[in-house]
Copies of this chain bind each other. A is one copy, B any other.
């Protein structure tokens, strides 16, 4: 025991440091090849415990030792073993994103995921895609993840006012953040796009352009942001005292051909709208297509203001006024704020309403 101490610890202290330097051969190969805490400990002539604490910058380890350990770790390319850390601490270092089948069609979530990944880049967190692991519904998927501690936090989109996922996660106290708001009284973290302002400004734009009757393609009614859009739309409509119309049989998730046919037959009938709010690229294209079928020309017979999450629409149809929603940025915020939540930040401080980016070209303004 004493001998061990003399050899392991005493020596480096008395004489010159004896661990190998940068250029020398550091191949203290472990069973699996990868360097571990023990590799560093051997090199530094320290105990594994000390190395562990030094790497987490515990104050009781002397500054000199900490720096030395950090340097060695860097030199041999040490990376803590995720499995061992997870086993010991119970933290998974994983963020899960729930993607429902809606996303498959639209490709909506790629940008968001890209943003989340960006936020996670410098951290030890990984992003795992949880389509719905063994379950059929989103809630079951969430439940499964929570029950089995498959992640430290959860992200999902398209909330409903009394979203079942939110309810579950609030009840279990599991860290999460969602894209979209709810009506629960308990505050919870969220990132949302200001769809009220989007719809309000979009409607005002149509009115400013002299349109006489405006219409809006609403999202499915069960989603929270449908109310926001409706509210923004109606506010602008009432302020201006203008005619309006809200299609009941189609919505944002309606297949493009159905929406197109609806629009074109509506255009043929009496008192058709001449201004459209489209909260998505696909719906905008469908409207353009439908109106074109009915012989109407964009920017002449009617106008569109569309929300776009790419630059596709602006590029293809400069005549469409667009208001941008930056989903990658939203994803970045989602990731960042969820990490804060996991570190026990107050839910009330984790609310973010992202402002619409209005792109109306000046030369087209009246």
Q: Which residues of A contact B (CB under 8 A)?
A: 32, 34, 77, 79, 81-84, 86-87, 90, 92, 94, 99, 101, 103-111, 113-114, 117-118, 121-122, 126-131, 133-134, 147-150, 255-257, 260, 282, 285-286, 289, 310-312, 314-318, 328
Q: Which B residue sits closest to A288, measured CB to CB?
A: B316
Q: A99-B114, A101-B114, A106-B110 are in contact. List 5 more A-B contacts (CB 8 A).
A: A107-B310, A117-B130, A122-B134, A128-B128, A260-B315
Whether B131 pairs with A129 at a CB distance below 8 angstroms is no
**Which among B106, B129, B315, B316 is the interface contact of A129 at CB below 8 angstroms?**
B129
User: How many angstroms between the C-alpha atoms of A282 and B130 in the bound complex?
Assistant: 29
Q: Which B residue sits closest to A115, measured CB to CB?
A: B104
Whether A105 pairs with B34 at a CB distance below 8 angstroms is no
Which residues does chain B contribute within 8 Å of A126, judged by CB atoms?
128-130, 150
Whether A87 pairs with B77 at a CB distance below 8 angstroms is no
If A104-B328, A105-B310, A114-B103 touch, whether A257 touches B83 (CB-CB below 8 Å) is no
Whether A87 pairs with B83 at a CB distance below 8 angstroms is yes
| Interchain residue pairs with CB less than 8 A apart (23) | A34-B148, A82-B150, A83-B83, A83-B86, A83-B92, A84-B87, A99-B110, A101-B114, A104-B110, A104-B114, A104-B328, A107-B310, A113-B129, A117-B131, A118-B131, A126-B150, A128-B129, A255-B311, A255-B315, A256-B311, A257-B314, A257-B315, A289-B316
User: How many angstroms between the C-alpha atoms of A131 and B83 in the bound complex?
Assistant: 21
User: How many angstroms between the C-alpha atoms of A318 and B286 in the bound complex?
Assistant: 12
Q: Identify which of A92, A104, A110, A318 gathers the most chain B CB atoms within 10 Å of its CB.
A: A110
User: How many angstroms between the C-alpha atoms of A8 and B163 in the bound complex?
Assistant: 48
Q: Which B residue sits closest to A255, measured CB to CB?
A: B315
Q: How far is the CB of A284 from chain B (nearest CB, A)?
A: 11
Q: How far is the CB of A320 from chain B (nearest CB, A)?
A: 11
Q: How far is the CB of A122 from chain B (nearest CB, A)?
A: 8
Whether A286 pairs with B260 at a CB distance below 8 angstroms is no
User: How many angstroms between the C-alpha atoms of A103 and B82 in the bound complex?
Assistant: 28
Q: Identify which of A82, A134, A317 gathers the most chain B CB atoms within 10 Å of its CB.
A: A82
Which residues does chain B contribute within 8 Å of A82, judged by CB atoms?
83, 86, 150
Whether B104 pairs with A316 at a CB distance below 8 angstroms is no
Which residues does chain B contribute within 8 Å of A128, judged by CB atoms?
94, 126-129
